[in-house]
Amino acid sequence: MIYGLLGWCIEVFWTGMGSLFTGDVKLTSTTYIWMFFIYGLAVLLEPIHNSIRSWPIALRGGIYTIVIFAIEYSTGLLLRILIGVCPWDYSSSPFSISGIIRLDYAPAWFAAGLLFERAHDSLTSETMRKII
């Protein structure tokens, strides 16, 4: 649930800032209910994080980026099969693969992976265990 909520918050901020760049001073944001569950899949990064904790940040971030792209692509494709449409459509981008992922988002996913890594560390800290 925490990763789903964190992902939603990031997406609302991201799309709101994106709307500012298109002239929308209201900072209109968009997301989809599906995204809560998809962002929740960041829990799959936890065992990876534990395995590569000592690696340099560039390698860790690169691995997280690849895993996030794989999750985004597979869930987008699954939604397209199940409901007939992928809720997000990147087909107008020259960096798109099947309209489902955008390779130019790699830096954002790199940063998101490292942010989820920090969230994982916080959630598993001794202090947090006492709170929960």
What's the pLDDT tens digit per position in 39-97? 999 898 899 999 999 999 999 999 999 999 999 999 999 999 999 999 999 999 999 99
Give me the count of residues in the chain.
132
pLDDT of residue 103: 98
| pLDDT class of 125 with cuts at 50, 70, 90 | confident
pLDDT of residue 65: 97
Q: Are 31 and 65 in contact (CB under 8 A)?
A: no
Cα separation, 42 vs 30, in Å, equals 20
Of 127 and 14, the structure prediction assigns the larger pLDDT to 14
pLDDT of residue 124: 83
Q: Are 52 and 60 in contact (CB under 8 A)?
A: yes
Cα separation, 12 vs 29, in Å, equals 5
Token pair for 57 = 């940040």
pLDDT of residue 123: 84
**pTM of the prediction?**
0.85
In angstroms, the Cα distances linking 21 to 18, 27, 30, 79 are 5, 9, 15, 29
- Whether 130 shows a pLDDT value over 90: the answer reads no
**Within the chain, where are the H helices?**
2-21, 33-40, 45-52, 57-83, 106-123, 126-131
pLDDT of residue 100: 97
